[in-house]
Amino acid sequence: MMMRDGARVAAAIPIKEWQVSERPRERLVQSGPANLTTGELLGLILGSGTRVGSGPLSAVQVGRFLLSRFGSIKAVAQLDVRQLMQIDGLGAAKAAQLVAAFEIGRRVEADPGQDRIRISGPDDIARIFVPAMRDLRQEEFRVVFLNTASIITGVHTISMGGLAVSIVEPRAVFHHAILANAASLICVHNHPSGNPEPSAQDVSVTKRLSEAGSLMGIPVNDHIIIAGTSHTSMALLGLLNG
């Protein structure tokens, strides 16, 4: 008999041949998702099994294999499609299913719903962007556009892969700000290293953007650094003008 996580598993038995009381989909319908293990939930996302290493594995066993290999669901959620595709038995389709599911989870956590979001301080930005950016494995620089009531009217990703001064050009930032009819803006970028302290380059980029914003009449209200679940406000540190 196929058992749940942590128990003995017969590798060659597909889920459809399990006892009905042990099948994850049926148990989810009957008892809800909270009663399933993480491996079983991953198996439901994957949908079907595959061949990993020396033999076939059910979808749930593939989920358990991923958890065992990477140590935690958080570590699995941080993998991108190419990294998942390098795992024996995971092709593009299954890798894409996993990445899509984790991204949906992040967006649900970050989504404010139908309410118009008024920004009154760094914590308001963090509530939205920490879930969306904490697991990114490369730096991204985003700009949040606000109207005169400090309500978010749009967000644009300016660069991915680094915060070089040559990449984050004021011209690009304020081009999109003008298109969004922004009254002001807030910059947000992440530190994959987990260190929330602004670097010298962060300060330099922020100073250039702040100076350009003053000239354009579209002030830079803050630059928020996301580092894991923590965040730093350069405005509170007095670094908006270098």
- 160: closest CA among 181, 133, 195, 186? 133
Which residues does residue 141 pair with via DSSP β-bridges, in sequence order?
Answer: 159, 189
Q: Which two tokens stand for residue 212?
A: 């350009």
Distance CA 98, CA 39 (A): 12
Q: What are phi and psi of 128, to 5 degrees?
A: -90, -45
Q: What confidence score (pLDDT) does residue 118 get?
A: 85
Q: What confidence score (pLDDT) does residue 4 get?
A: 39
Q: What confidence score (pLDDT) does residue 232 get?
A: 96
Q: Which two tokens stand for residue 152?
A: 């978010």
Distance CA 75, CA 60 (A): 18
Q: What confidence score (pLDDT) does residue 20 get?
A: 54
As a whole number of Å, the CA-based R_g of the chain is 22
Q: What confidence score (pLDDT) does residue 240 get?
A: 87
Predicted confidence pLDDT, tens digits, the chain (242 residues)? 333 343 334 444 556 666 656 677 888 887 788 878 888 888 888 887 776 566 677 788 888 888 888 988 888 888 888 988 888 778 888 889 998 988 888 777 766 554 567 899 999 999 989 988 988 888 999 999 999 999 998 899 988 875 554 467 889 899 999 999 999 999 999 999 889 999 999 999 999 999 999 999 999 999 999 998 999 999 999 998 75
Q: What confidence score (pLDDT) does residue 15 get?
A: 60
Contacts of 15 (CB under 8 A, 6+ apart): 2, 23, 24, 43, 49, 58, 59, 60
pTM: 0.61
Q: What confidence score (pLDDT) does residue 2 get?
A: 35
Strands 230-233, 220-227: pairing is antiparallel
Q: What confidence score (pLDDT) does residue 51 get?
A: 67
- Cα-based distances in Å from 81 to 73, 95, 97: 16, 5, 9
- 144: closest CA among 133, 131, 134, 153? 153
Same fold, 15-108 and 114-233: no
What is residue 235's three-state secondary structure? coil
- 232: closest CA among 199, 204, 184? 199
The domain segmentation of the chain, as residue ranges, is: 15-108, 114-233
Q: What confidence score (pLDDT) does residue 7 get?
A: 36
Third-level CATH fold of 15-108: DNA polymerase; domain 1 (1.10.150)
Third-level CATH fold of 114-233: Cytidine Deaminase; domain 2 (3.40.140)
Q: What confidence score (pLDDT) does residue 165 get?
A: 42
118's torsion region: left (phi>0), alpha (psi -120 to 50) or beta? beta
Strand (E) or helix (H) holding 152 = strand 152-160
Distance CA 4, CA 130 (A): 33
Q: Which two tokens stand for residue 41?
A: 């939930």
Q: What confidence score (pLDDT) does residue 90 get?
A: 83
Q: What confidence score (pLDDT) does residue 166 get?
A: 41
Q: What confidence score (pLDDT) does residue 16 get?
A: 60
